[in-house]
With several copies, the nearest count.
Chain A
Amino acid sequence: MIEIRLHGRGGQGAVKAAEILAKAAFYDGKVVQSFPFFGVERRGAPVQAFTRISDEKIRIHSYIYEPDVLVVLDPTLIGAEGVNILEGLRSGGKVIVNSTKEPSAFDFHGKNGVTVYTVDATAIAVKNKLGSESAPIVNTAIVGAIAKVTGLVTIDSVKKAIFDTIPRNKEANAVAAEDTFKNVK
């Protein structure tokens, strides 16, 4: 069973991203579970979401303490006051960051077997007109990068899940996911 944690901000749709990831895995024949951080979401405040992907029935219903994969939707969260992105990450885990930077720009890259991947999901979202220019929505886009980096889900299933989940601009969202799939480093 693989456990994934996503970091975003209230209002950005990290929960939807976790759900799209779960649905994609389900379409790929996996057993899945996804859930938000159990708390009060506030616009602007840091939030988390989670996905479990497994080959067998998932019977446990408890928090995720030691994720295999981390996804950071908003790069300003790294190092932000009171936020510890890396908490509990398994050694050998993967971290996918929405950033213009290179993976090596992050000091935890390579430490403890952790590998960092980056993708400019913001630029891709803007290009695909997701959200507004000042507040682009990156939640669908980033799932493409997760698919590529982890190999947990196929990009086709990701696109299908996006079509099932997103009410508007389905096409553009799917294209964005494909873009990050291709461009993650």
Chain B
Amino acid sequence: MNEKKKDLTLSIPKEEIMQPGHLACQGCGASLAMRYALKALGRNVILDIPACCWAVIDGPFPYSATGVPIYHTAFETAAAVASGISNGLRSVGKSGATIMAWAGDGGTFDIGIQALSGAAERNDDIIYTVYDNEAYMNTGIQRSSATPHGAWTTTTPVKHFKKGEKKDLDSIMVAHGIPYMATASISHPEDLIKKYQKAAKIRGTKFLHVYAPCPTGWKSDPAMTVKVAKLAVETNVFPIYEVENGNYRINIKPSKRKEVKEYLSMQGRFKHLTEEDVKYIQENIDRKWDTLLKKEQYFSSKEK
């Protein structure tokens, strides 16, 4: 009966491991992040997830939407639990599955950084993902140290909006000397998936920092989630790069970087900012991008 059409174009793996029925808000970037990561890694994966939106998204007891084993764990323990799973299985010679900690920015930049630092120092064989929505969303939008300068949150009210830069966790993790650190965005699933596939093949601690807009917390239109993420890349708000054994590679270099203003204006969390504030933010972005370019120039395998 149906006219025979050619197949739909699929630029990312077809199999859906994460299933619908989950509890993410409409237009949630974090749910996209998981969908892509699992497409990249397949089913031979064990996840552990600390307190964060994802602890809710997966569904309540006795259900799960994700299709792979998940250990829900205490907020500050994501990396340590993953270490335990990985080393525990190694102790009995079962090291086949990919062990992945999957945590929010709060659980990573703040309360979980110690466990992460420890795992990285021991170079435990895990992937650590932080899906970054730049605040504590699960508890209702409080600042984290990943919250960018200028943003409103409930603990950085408009009169005291967040002051100070986002913690540079990427550089911190690079300083830990781990074999692989990469940033990725839900707006660029193909890049993201390639990075997970690469990470799965490397032994030791891999750190992936995934940009995941949150319409609820950013006061943005759920329909704009992907657009906002794309703009973050195009404005250099969130550069897409990777560091392998200390060697930098910027994966996406916008031919002409867009103005941060465009990015900010899509999000209610920034609507109180003055022109001057925006200028300050723009300058910082440009300065940081320059530093990153320098790092790529001086610290890359090519340069050696």
Interface residues of A (CB under 8 A from B): 10-11, 40, 42-45
Contact = CB atoms under 8 A, between A and B. Distances in A.
Interface residues of B, number: 10
14 contacts: A40-B23, A40-B56, A40-B138, A42-B23, A42-B24, A42-B25, A42-B56, A43-B25, A43-B26, A43-B215, A43-B222, A44-B26, A45-B23, A45-B25
Interface in B1-41: 23-27
Contact of A11 (B56, B138, B216): B216
Contacts of B24: 42
Nearest to A42: B25
Interface SS of chain B: helix, strand, loop or mixed?
A: loop
A28 B61 CA distance: 43
Contacts, number: 20
Contacts of B138: 40
Contacts of B23: 40, 42, 45
Nearest to B56: A40
User: Does more than half of chain A's interface fall in helix, strand or loop, or is it mixed?
Assistant: loop
Nearest to A41: B140
A44 B56 contact: no
A9 to B, nearest CB: 10
A10 B56 contact: no
A44 B27 CA distance: 10
A45 B222 CA distance: 14
Nearest to B60: A40
Given A40-B138, A42-B25, A44-B26, 13 more contacts: A10-B25, A11-B216, A40-B23, A40-B56, A42-B24, A42-B56, A43-B25, A43-B26, A43-B27, A43-B215, A43-B216, A44-B222, A45-B25
B166 to A, nearest CB: 24
A10 B215 CA distance: 12
A10 B25 CA distance: 9
Please give me the 5 A-B residue pairs with the lowest Cβ-Cβ distance, nearest first.
Answer: A43-B25, A44-B26, A43-B216, A42-B25, A40-B56
Interface in B123-157: 138
Contacts of A40: 23, 56, 138
Nearest to A132: B221
A156 B184 CA distance: 54
B264 to A, nearest CB: 19
A11 B215 CA distance: 11
A40 B57 CA distance: 10
A77 to B, nearest CB: 15
Contacts of B215: 43
The residue in A10, A11, A42 that gathers the most chain B C-beta atoms within 10 A of its C-beta is: A42
Contacts of B216: 11, 43
A15 B23 CA distance: 20
Contacts of A45: 23, 25
